[in-house]
Amino acid sequence: QLQLVESGGGLVQPGGTLRLSCAASGFTLDYYAIGWFRQAPGKEREGVSCISSRGSTTNYADSVKGRFTISRDNAKNTVYLQMNSLKPEDTAVYYCAAVYGSRWCPEVGMNYWGKGTLVTVSS
């Protein structure tokens, strides 16, 4: 079974910090670019960040640039999203997804998706 499992979501106050994890089982992430996506209530899913298979290339949505950091530890088969200075507009279900043999994360082309973890930023 090829699975991605997100964890680390929860309720935080504005300005707070969370670290999300995306752990793979049944396959190795070594050859996959990994993306984080999010979907807020009533809105379409959007890309948040992407990291290449070796971690040499990263990108971020303008809305999170400077606040979020994506990283990976291939030895642990895990990708992380460090989220600092959280804002209410960051509230969403966050998903990780994997795409084989790509340097970037085209949403329509992602091969595997996790089930998501809910991040709520509210006072």
Determine the pLDDT at residue 65: 98
Q: What does residue 105 show for φ and ψ, rounded to 5 degrees? A: -125, 80
> Quick one: pLDDT at residue 56?
86
Q: Tell me the three state secondary structure of residue 88.
A: helix
Residue 80: its pLDDT value, please?
97
Taking only the tens place, the pLDDT of each residue in 75-93 is 999 999 999 999 999 999 9
Query: What is the 3-state composition of the chain as percent helix, strand, coil, each rounded to the nearest 5?
Result: 5, 50, 45
Amino acid found at 29: L
Residues 6+ apart with CB under 8 A from 103: 33, 52, 57
Which residue numbers in the chain have pLDDT < 50?
Answer: none
Q: What is the pLDDT of residue 102?
A: 85
